[in-house]
A and B are shown apart, each in its own frame.
Chain A
């Protein structure tokens, strides 16, 4: 239980965002001489919107792209006399995120005010957790190969805290317009240790975190919408020498831009140290120009503000009962990387395919559950692999072409399972399997009755009798001979050396067999017959 005891972001820089059509990407610049002697040190500060549907301290709804100032409670506008009321759901989501990041959750955490005067913050202070954050000292392991990283390593989590988002402001002519729809939305600020050494490593961390947030349901990780924003600290130094001065690049809204910003900053720093080795680089806050993919200076650290942090006495301390915490810990779902490891280890299936299944439903893992229903308990590796192919390549391939969204009821897992097993037994051919899928997705049975639809019904619907199509009962040889006599020109072409023509003959056989013949066997038979 979360007990509330009584006694208890950074400022966004608005950059003009560009429509996609205007985005051009800079081409790779020349390598700097001796570049490989330098090491890049990267730390991240991530702001992830908490997916609670309401604001952190008021009952107003969270929103995206709605009419400005329509989702505002008096507290969001800091009206005199209004008081914050903490959304405990936001605390719960932050706690499970902290646990999934292996953090130590503070038994008692408190809220503080960070003061500054600006249009985007009507109260002139942001409520955050400065002195006693929710959690500290976590880590997330990045494995070799993720986002092409070259090593397996841990990214330390310095701290995780809950705080308010600011309003959006826009300069129109001589005026600044403010939209309070985003104001006071709950955020998790996740600060990493400077443990990343390349743009790919930073990208891998953000991607992994996105998957984690989506799986937990604590955030949607959507960078395009600004629901996940990244500030990155970059410094470079020669191996074996102390760390260099760092610069912070703020408000990056895609993993690609993050990597571009790090790359641009890395080069800028090396260039600086190479050309003027005696002057240290200026510590500053920078932005990324999304057109040129170069960073530019926003403000130097000398202009850094004194935020006058102060405990917020309107909010009681959040005291976490250890029992509640251990219950949350046991309720943590299997993480994306854990299911990848389990399925690839157990069945030898492809990592990419498991990731495709995860992508079907990153929060509920419906795709993974569907797959596991199809392969059943203790199934052997061969069936598991075949099932993966039928689901990921055939089923998803076909619905992809037709732009049908996937759902576990589209082809019930029991039906899919029966079909895969029959193909394996050789009772039906793969071609029939494809037809079954095509039939089922183009005319899906009403969802109520799908469960009662048996594979038998489907096959009889398609006019296929299992006994007839039993391999042994098809006289492939007869069909092939008939095809050869039907297509004398193709036979002549083949004999002249145009071996590709055999495809036409295979097609003829398939037509004659109404698609029930096994194409591989047909080809073997034809090759034999044509040798004569």
Chain B
């Protein structure tokens, strides 16, 4: 890996909080406190968190002007869990505003950019770290923190992981508490973990995956127990022996045959599978995510949260409603406004049946497709579908259609974008665990990742296969 290799020692290097000069930095806030002695599974370990995860010691702004300098009065459950195991919160990382974007370029005007640190040579043109958790991926890649938390709504952890050459996990929906995570789309949002390798990601994941009474969508211990049981029964006794890997025929991008040969050599079976609803499901994502965003972002601009833009008083002659309009117009960036408008439209009385309800239906169809191709039963309804004994355990495909794009180059919207979403969105719609693992590099020398998706609750399985992919990468 070309990533600068450093762990704790790098923290001793002075870093300026809220760097405002031209220097790019993945951080929006840096913790200047020296970590004290700590105990626990993550004792003394530095972890960065995305700027949409509430931490009462830091301004949590979602990279939005509307929440500039908003100090959350509480700390998200996942961050509490990290700190309870002795972790040091290194800082908060930049993101696309409210998680909307895929290059960490939708930033407030006063932010410096985020550059991808995985450059094959020092004189390369700066490239995107991906998004929306680009700050978290870059922070891990440049090595100033050991791991980072991101959030993934439609690929926001996996895509930057692929671009920056790190491991990025989007767990099953409901595995990590969302309490304290500023919502983009509640039914899709997952807290994810980024780290240099699978061991790191697994270690952090194990600390933060637990039931939370403060989040009713967070899986209870009884469901976790069922999932654990099923997972134990399906984990290969040794390595990946007997593991069945599916390659979706609907996805054009193929992983290198070298990797597949290696996995076969390790005892895995590789076969083609079909997810017929996968293409139709994409529009469902755009509808659902923007509809939920329009609802969740309605709270901003009402003057409640104590950020300076929210605290603005009325201009003379302005009504309360006009004040709200003004703050929202000035406070939200273009991409956010676009999605709020699209979502509002999808939920309007005339459109609801034809857009929102249809999207829900398509999402159901996609879930059914996944159930049909997996050999492992769904822990939330183990008996609802007949088990497909000939099914696969993990689905494998590239995470991205390309290596990291050069920053500032405006590309025409194309079917490429659609192809890219096809690689990350389906796992989000179905709520399935999906990990992106570095697997070689593109012709330009920048990293590439592969995605491994399994049945709900089968994080253990994706870690197992992920380690095999890591082994293969090391041999390259």
Contacts and interface: CB of A to CB of B under 8 A. Distances in A.
A80 B214 contact: no
B214 A83 contact: yes
Interface in A270-311: 306, 308-311
B216 A74 contact: no
B320 A119 contact: yes
B292 A122 contact: no
Interface string B272-313: 000000000000000000011011001100101100000000
B216 A86 contact: yes
Contacts of B321: 117
A92 to B, nearest CB: 17
Given A4-B216, A315-B216, A124 B73 contact: no
A74 B75 CA distance: 12
A119 B302 contact: yes
B291 A310 contact: yes
Q: For A308, A310, A313, A315, which residue has the most chain B Cβ atoms within 10 angstroms?
A: A308
A465 interface: no
Contacts of A4: 216
Contact of B72 (A81, A117, A316): A81
Given A6-B219, A81-B183, A310-B291, 10 more contacts: A74-B74, A78-B299, A80-B72, A81-B72, A82-B179, A83-B179, A85-B214, A122-B302, A306-B349, A314-B216
A6 B299 contact: no
A81 B76 contact: yes
A78 B349 contact: no
A125 interface: yes
Contact of A123 (B292, B298, B356): B298
B54 A80 contact: yes
Interface in A60-82: 74, 77-82
A115 interface: yes
B246 interface: no
Contact of B347 (A86, A119, A310): A310
B182 interface: yes
Nearest to A77: B304
A113 interface: yes
B38 interface: no
B73 A313 contact: no
A20 interface: no
Contacts of B292: 310, 313
A117 B298 contact: yes
Interface in B48-94: 53-54, 60, 62, 67, 70, 72-74, 76
Contact of A117 (B302, B349, B352): B302
Nearest to B74: A74
Contacts of B178: 81, 83
Contacts of A311: 360
Interface string B4-23: 00000000000000000000
Given A78-B304, A82-B179, A310-B356, A113 B295 contact: yes
Interface residues on A, range: 20 to 34
Given A81-B179, A117-B324, A316 B217 contact: yes
Nearest to B360: A311
A178 to B, nearest CB: 9
Interface in A94-149: 113, 115, 117, 119, 122-125
A83 B186 CA distance: 10
B473 interface: no
Given A4-B216, A124-B299, A176-B320, A80 B305 contact: yes
A313 B302 contact: no
Interface in B308-331: 320-321, 324
30 contacts: A6-B174, A6-B380, A79-B304, A80-B70, A80-B183, A80-B305, A81-B178, A81-B183, A83-B214, A84-B216, A85-B215, A113-B295, A115-B295, A117-B298, A119-B302, A123-B298, A125-B298, A176-B320, A306-B348, A308-B295, A308-B348, A308-B349, A309-B347, A309-B352, A310-B356, A313-B186, A313-B217, A314-B186, A314-B215, A314-B216
A313 B348 CA distance: 18
Contacts of B70: 80
B261 interface: no
A310 B186 CA distance: 12
A324 interface: no
A524 B195 CA distance: 106
Contact of B305 (A79, A124, A176, A316): A79
B147 interface: no
B181 interface: yes
B213 interface: yes
A314 B217 contact: yes
Contacts of B391: none
A124 B223 CA distance: 33
Q: Which 8 A-B pairs have the closest CB atoms?
A: A124-B298, A313-B187, A308-B347, A80-B182, A81-B180, A313-B186, A78-B299, A81-B54
Nearest to A7: B380
Contacts of A125: 295, 298
Contacts of A8: 217
Interface in B182-238: 182-183, 186-187, 213-217, 219, 223
Interface in B339-369: 344, 347-349, 352, 356, 360
Contacts of A306: 348-349
Contacts of A124: 295, 298-299, 302
